[in-house]
């Protein structure tokens, strides 16, 4: 009755914003940084991207601007946590609050106008959707096969050891946070430029928080992030699709399921690591901890 | 070049001075922001920081500070205990929601019975609900080593959906004309959490917040468990050799912070908020994390930080009201305050020295 | 005894605070509290346009202020009190969830008049007002029934509450009237405003073969999706003119200015009385936005004729014979639905093949 291909196509674009944001957060977390400011960075990107796309008439310029804006606002988090050594959880929450306010404040002139249309990409699928899918192997390759990726993981796993080996803990983390900001910005801009075509306050409506859950679900791997984005996006798409087909669904209970699944995954990987001492898939060792070199 | 040298113990002088410096810096930067936006910066800052305390309607807004600050302080007191031990409960928002639901469930189950024991039973249920929700990450960490940061955060999302489910389903008010949301507990005398003395704003939640500050102060500075907690936070391995069982601490800290957050939820639901709705969680649990850090994880600091944040909320509303300052601008201003407070904390923990080139 | 004295003192203090604004020649202060930001482009935006219309109409005889983005619950009660304390003599509370806070604050300020949107509780100084959105839905339902080629129209509902259910039934009845083969697909988004989710809901409907989308949620996301798929839709709450001439072929606009101007005028004349207003197309409270050229002229004429018939009171959108979805009779031939029936509507009419979530 329901064509699986059509559900998959819906899923592709529905999961794109959270896929971008989660890939960015993945890299930050692999570097040992827990940034709860994803929502704030996404909304900043949503506004900056929309504004640039509207002003220039070119949606792709909008996405570039969104990446830049996301990276710029993440710099506040960098200053707080990497320079002033403030607590990451509190700083991330403050970033979310600040970003939501800032975007709402600067967004006033862009209310009620419409973004330029996006040209369709190959197979009639949006170019940015393709870009998101391409980022998955790219991030995987970077983390697992490249030398900077290896250093980044080392910094996240044990920052003292990485420092002792002469790697720049702070510089690595700054770069990772900025990448996270840029990706969150693009994710947010997908909502304003490609999905809604307009700017409204608070339009990311909690997507940044879902991205945080996806990273945990992913067991800190890029393919896992894709699976997580599809699971979280998929549950919403599927329940809406079932409703549209006239099937009665328990919406609230269904929407809880991915979060429970995430907890289950987390427990399983932790348990495997604890009892069999075979590593892999657990949270980076220095996640959320600040680093200060004594020398 | 300058460099940072950690202090042996946090500097007392700086501990007092940094929040003041941060507020001052916020006033300068915020004033600049207001001026750019075309508002009188002096008037705006006076409206936010001065008027709620001493302005024309201060006799109303002063007690409201307590109402707004109480849940923040109550939750943050519990969180800070865990944070001192390096146990990171960031899911207080979920524990708050569940506590509100379990507490309200007691009242809704026996409605319309009037009995003296009902409110105490609701408080107990709220504490128990929050405790149980907090124990999930505790047990998963103790049994499987799962990160309590992530599990407690995930459980916030689950709790939010439980609240929506309750508001639309089992707890929906049968006399509510088909709208979502439970009965209003303010209108159910035995279950209500009213102002204890009219005009003071003080309800049982305010009393509980005050008790929580005292109790956590006693715990941390006078009780052996407080010593264990601090020891575990500073030197986990040494603490283990001294016989501190980390698993006990995890259960204690998450259970305690969960229970306090649950109680805060119940006091809100039975008092100022009045009912279970799908928007039950308004972010107190997350804001309390910020409050805990602004208060330097110290009970007295938390008290002051909670009141300061409440001040900016109420002052921000006043600024909207009297100057038509947009809500977004107020939000940016609050964000700035948090950034400065968090950033300047560096001065209490580190000394800034000029780097002498060798 | 003591407690009573305290109460009396407290209310006397509140009265004293409110007193200065009573002077005769000063402008009438009118306050508004909004649940969302004025920039939401939908519900709150329309209320704020009406506030501006009040200012324009009465010039310096009135002074309006608003507080935006006020969460429902405890914060609403404080914001309302602060508006009253600031000397506002008439306060518009523009969200259903402000109902109990309005009742509480109104009891404390008997000389302040309150207007609560979409609620069902009134008092001596509390009136309620709402708009008969279902009248507008009948008109766009007619257009939808004529325009669909797949004979499937989709409806994005926010929450399963009477107001939304009235809209679904009304549009379906009138779509079926002009097109007996039409089917209706309903999707609940469980949000008034969540652009990403609304877009997904629209896509789900489009994948089901729907080619006309009606929405009772506030963002333009469904229109954007409709455009991509070559389907059509309608502006909701505001005109959503950016999507003219297609996919937005018409719109259903919340126009609160006539009511706000009337009520403010009554307060100025001293003729204000409590009551429940439920006005529709005839009073200009529900407006059908420009029907664009994407709609054939004869359909446009038909829709406008229906609009005028409803506006003049000649025709009621819920006129029998109508059966409920379970086949039982609801309205007999020629019978018109009562307002009570509509205000607690919790069923679909016969022909809608869906169930209302309970």
Q: For chain B, what are the domain ranges?
A: 70-306
CATH number at residue A82: 1.10.3470
pLDDT digits (tens, 9 = 90+) for A8-53: 888 888 899 999 999 999 999 988 888 889 989 999 999 999 999 9
Q: How far is CA B255 from CA A34, B91, B265, C212, in A?
A: 24, 12, 15, 52
pLDDT at C22: 46
Minimum distance, in Å, between the CA of residue C265 and any CA atom of chain B: 22
Query: Which phi and psi angles does C343 have, rounded to 5°?
Result: -70, -15
CB-based contact (8 Å) between B170 and chain A?
no
Q: Is residue A117 part of a domain?
A: yes
pLDDT at C3: 41
Chosen from C36, C38, C39 to mutate, greatest number of chain A CBs within 10 A: C39
pLDDT digits (tens, 9 = 90+) for A76-133: 899 888 888 888 888 888 898 889 888 888 887 787 777 777 777 777 778 888 989 9
pLDDT at C11: 47
- Portion 10-29 of C in contact with B at CB < 8 A: 10-11, 13-14, 17
The answer to which of A277-291, B24-38, B175-189 has the lowest mean pLDDT is A277-291
pLDDT at A295: 43
Radius of gyration for the alpha carbons in chain C, expressed in angstroms and rounded: 22
Q: Say if domain C2-131 classifies as CATH 3.40.50.2300.
A: yes
Average pLDDT over residues A212-232: 86
Average pLDDT over residues A238-259: 80
pLDDT digits (tens, 9 = 90+) for B273-310: 888 888 887 888 888 988 898 888 889 989 999 998 89
Instruction: Give, in degrees to the nearest 5, the angle at Cα C157 between A190 and C216.
Output: 75
A160 versus C178: the higher-pLDDT residue is: C178
pLDDT digits (tens, 9 = 90+) for C85-131: 889 999 999 998 899 899 989 999 999 999 999 888 899 999 999 99
Task: Show the tokens assigned to C126.
Answer: 């509390």
Q: Which residue has the tokens 């002498």?
A: B356
Is C100 in contact with B274 (Cβ distance < 8 A)?
yes
Q: Is residue A283 part of a domain?
A: no
What is d(CA A30, CA A21) in angstroms, rounded to the nearest whole number? 14
Q: Is the dihedral of CA A71, C194, C142, C204 positive or negative?
A: positive
Supply the ipTM of this predicted assembly.
0.84
pLDDT at A281: 56
Which helix (H) or strand (E) element contains residue C21?
none
What is d(CA B107, CA B92) in angstroms, rounded to the nearest whole number? 23
Minimum distance, in Å, between the CA of residue B8 and any CA atom of chain A: 13
Is B157 in contact with A287 (Cβ distance < 8 A)?
no
Q: Of C144, C172, C154, give the one whose Cα is nearest residue C208.
A: C154
What is d(CA C321, CA C87) in angstroms, rounded to the nearest whole number? 52
pLDDT at B230: 79
pLDDT digits (tens, 9 = 90+) for B220-271: 888 888 778 777 777 777 777 777 788 888 999 999 999 999 999 999 999 8
Give the burial class of B15: count Cβ atoms within 10 A of its Cβ; 0-12 exposed, 13-18 middle, 19 or more buried.
middle
CB-based contact (8 Å) between B344 and chain A?
yes
Q: Of C311, C281, C131, C139, give the one whose Cα is nearest residue C214.
A: C139
Residues C171, C137: contact at Cβ < 8 Å?
Answer: yes
Q: Is residue A291 part of a domain?
A: no
Is B342 in contact with A90 (Cβ distance < 8 A)?
yes
DSSP C193: -
Chain region(s) in chain C for CATH 3.40.50.2300:
2-131, 136-253+287-343
pLDDT at A41: 94
Is B37 in contact with A105 (Cβ distance < 8 A)?
yes
Fold entry, domain C136-253+287-343: Rossmann fold (3.40.50)
Residues C282, C312: contact at Cβ < 8 Å?
Answer: yes
pLDDT digits (tens, 9 = 90+) for B296-352: 888 998 999 999 889 988 888 888 888 888 888 888 888 888 888 888 877 777 776
| CA C354 remoteness from chain centre | 24
Work out how many domains chain A is built from and give that number: 1
Which residue range forms the structural domain that includes residue A93? 4-276
pLDDT at B201: 72
Q: Is residue A284 part of a domain?
A: no
User: What DSSP assignment string belongs to A16-41?
Assistant: HHHHHHHHHHHHHHHTT---TTHHHH
Residues of chain C with pLDDT under 70: 1-25, 358
A118: nearest CA partner in chain C:
C228
Q: Residue B10 above 80 pLDDT?
A: no
What is d(CA C103, CA C97) in angstroms, rounded to the nearest whole number? 11
A188: nearest CA partner in chain C:
C196
Contacting chains of B (3 CB pairs or more, <8 Å) are A, C
Which residues in chain C touch residue B322, judged by CB atoms under 8 angstroms apart? 65, 86
The fraction of chain B above a pLDDT of 90, given in percent, is: 23
Which residues in chain A touch residue C199, judged by CB atoms under 8 angstroms apart? 14, 195-196
Minimum distance, in Å, between the CA of residue C190 and any CA atom of chain A: 9
Residues C46, C257: contact at Cβ < 8 Å?
Answer: no
Q: Residue B60 above 70 pLDDT?
A: yes
Chosen from B10, B144, B344 to mutate, greatest number of chain A CBs within 10 A: B144
pLDDT digits (tens, 9 = 90+) for B75-123: 999 999 998 888 889 899 999 999 999 999 999 888 888 888 888 999 9
pLDDT at A65: 93
Q: Of B284, B275, B170, give the one whose Cα is nearest residue C103.
A: B275
Per the document, the length of chain B is 358
Minimum distance, in Å, between the CA of residue B120 and any CA atom of chain A: 31
pLDDT digits (tens, 9 = 90+) for B30-39: 889 888 888 8
CB-based contact (8 Å) between B135 and chain A?
no
The fraction of chain A above a pLDDT of 70, given in percent, is: 96
CB-based contact (8 Å) between A271 and chain B?
yes
B335: nearest CA partner in chain A:
A98
Is A97 in contact with B335 (Cβ distance < 8 A)?
yes
Is B161 in contact with A256 (Cβ distance < 8 A)?
yes
């Amino acid at each position: 009755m329901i064509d699986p291909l059509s559900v998959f196509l819906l899923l592709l674009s529905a999961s794109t914003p959270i896929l971008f944001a989660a890939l960015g957060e993945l890299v930050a977390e692999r570097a040992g940084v827990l940034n709860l400011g994803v929502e704030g960075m996404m909304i900043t990107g949503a506004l900056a991207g929309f504004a640039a796309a509207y002003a220039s008439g070119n949606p792709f310029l909008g996405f570039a601007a969104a990446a830049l804006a996301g990276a710029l606002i993440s710099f506040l988090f960098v200053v707080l946590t990497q320079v002033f050594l403030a607590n990451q959880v509190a700083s991330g929450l403050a970033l979310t609050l600040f970003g939501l306010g800032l975007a709402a404040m600067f967004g006033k002139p862009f209310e009620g106008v419409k973004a330029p249309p996006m040209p369709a990409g190959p197979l009639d699928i949006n170019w940015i959707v393709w870009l998101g899918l391409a980022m998955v192997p790219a991030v995987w390759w970077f983390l697992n096969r490249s030398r900077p990726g290896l250093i980044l993981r080392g910094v996240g796993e044990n920052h003292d050891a990485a420092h002792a080996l002469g790697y720049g803990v702070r510089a690595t983390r700054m770069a990772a946070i900025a990448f996270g900001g840029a990706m969150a910005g693009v994710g947010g801009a997908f909502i304003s430029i490609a999905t809604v075509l307009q700017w409204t306050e608070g339009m990311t409506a909690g997507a940044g928080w879902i991205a945080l859950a996806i990273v945990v679900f992913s067991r800190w791997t890029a393919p896992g992030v894709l699976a997580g984005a599809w699971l979280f996006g998929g549950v919403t798409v599927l329940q809406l699709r079932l409703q549209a087909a006239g099937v009665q669904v328990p919406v609230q209970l269904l929407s809880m399921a991915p979060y429970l699944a995430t907890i289950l995954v987390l427990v399983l990987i932790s348990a495997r690591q604890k009892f069999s001492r075979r590593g892999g898939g657990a949270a980076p060792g220095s996640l959320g901890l600040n680093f200060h070199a004594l020398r | 070049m300058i460099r940072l040298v950690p202090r042996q113990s946090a500097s007392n002088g700086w501990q007092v001075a940094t929040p003041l410096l941060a507020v001052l810096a916020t006033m300068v930067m915020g004033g600049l922001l207001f001026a750019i936006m075309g508002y009188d910066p002096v008037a705006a800052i006076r409206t936010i920081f001065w008027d709620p305390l001493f302005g024309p309607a201060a006799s109303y807004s002063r007690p409201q500070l307590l109402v707004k600050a109480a849940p923040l302080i109550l939750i943050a007191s519990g969180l800070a205990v865990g944070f001192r031990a390096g146990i990171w409960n960031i899911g207080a928002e979920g524990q708050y929601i569940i506590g509100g639901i379990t507490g309200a469930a007691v009242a809704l189950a026996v409605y319309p019975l009037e009995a003296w024991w009902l409110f105490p039973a609701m408080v107990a249920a709220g504490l128990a609900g929050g405790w149980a929700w907090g124990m999930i990450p505790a047990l998963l960490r103790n049994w499987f080593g799962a990160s309590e940061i992530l599990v407690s955060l995930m459980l916030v999302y689950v709790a939010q959906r439980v609240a929506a489910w309750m508001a639309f389903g089992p707890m929906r008010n049968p006399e509510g004309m088909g709208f979502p949301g439970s009965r209003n507990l303010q209108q159910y005398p035995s279950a209500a959490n009213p102002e204890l003395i009219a005009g003071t704003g003080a309800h049982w939640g305010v009393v509980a917040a005050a008790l929580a500050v005292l109790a956590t102060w006693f715990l941390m500075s006078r009780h052996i468990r407080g010593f264990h907690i601090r020891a575990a936070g500073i030197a986990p391995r040494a603490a283990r050799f001294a016989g501190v069982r980390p698993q006990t601490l995890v259960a204690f800290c998450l259970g305690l912070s969960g229970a306090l957050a649950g109680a805060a939820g119940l006091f809100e639901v039975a008092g100022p908020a009045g009912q279970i709705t799908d928007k039950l969680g308004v972010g107190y649990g997350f804001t309390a994390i910020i409050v805990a850090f602004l208060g330097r994880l110290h009970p007295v600091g938390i008290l002051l930080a909670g009141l300061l944040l409440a001040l900016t909320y109420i002052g921000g509303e006043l600024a909207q009201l009297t100057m038509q300052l947009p809500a977004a601008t107020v939000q940016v201003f609050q964000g700035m305050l948090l950034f400065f407070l968090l950033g300047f904390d560096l001065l209490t923990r580190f000394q800034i020295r000029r780097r002498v080139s060798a | 005894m003591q407690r009573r004295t305290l109460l009396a003192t407290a209310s006397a203090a509140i009265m004293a605070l409110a007193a200065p604004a009573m002077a005769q020649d000063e402008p009438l202060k009118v306050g508004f509290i909004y649940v969302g930001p004025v920039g939401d482009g939908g519900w709150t935006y329309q209320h704020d346009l009406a506030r501006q219309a009040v200012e324009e109409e009465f010039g310096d005889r009135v002074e309006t202020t608003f507080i935006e983005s006020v969460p429902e619950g405890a914060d609403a009660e404080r914001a309302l009190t602060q508006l009253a304390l600031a000397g506002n003599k008439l306060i518009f509370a523009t969200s259903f969830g402000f109902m109990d806070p309005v009742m509480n604050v109104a009891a404390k300020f008997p000389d302040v008049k309150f207007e609560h949107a979409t609620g069902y509780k009134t008092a001596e100084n509390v009136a309620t007002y709402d708009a008969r959105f279902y009248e507008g839905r009948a008109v766009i339902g007619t257009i939808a029934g004529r325009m669909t080629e797949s004979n499937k129209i989709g409806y994005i509902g926010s929450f399963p509450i009477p107001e939304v259910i009235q809209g679904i039934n009304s549009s379906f009845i009138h779509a079926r009237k002009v097109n007996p083969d039409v089917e209706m697909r309903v999707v609940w988004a469980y949000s008034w405003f969540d652009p990403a989710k609304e877009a997904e809901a629209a896509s789900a409907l489009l994948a089901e073969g729907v080619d006309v989308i009606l929405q009772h949620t506030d963002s333009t996301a469904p229109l954007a999706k409709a455009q991509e798929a070559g389907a059509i839709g309608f502006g909701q709450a505001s005109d959503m003119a950016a999507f003219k001439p297609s996919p937005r072929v018409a719109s259903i606009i919340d126009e609160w200015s006539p009511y706000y101007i009337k009520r403010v005028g009554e307060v100025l004349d001293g003729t204000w009385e409590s009551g429940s207003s439920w006005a529709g197309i005839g009073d200009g409270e529900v407006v059908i936005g420009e029907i664009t050229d994407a709609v054939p002229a004869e359909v446009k004429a038909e829709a406008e004729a229906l609009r005028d018939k409803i506006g003049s009171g000649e025709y009621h959108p819920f006129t029998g014979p109508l059966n409920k979805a379970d086949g039982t009779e609801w309205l007999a031939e020629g019978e018109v639905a009562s307002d009570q029936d509509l205000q607690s509507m919790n069923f679909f009419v016969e022909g809608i093949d869906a169930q209302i979530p309970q």
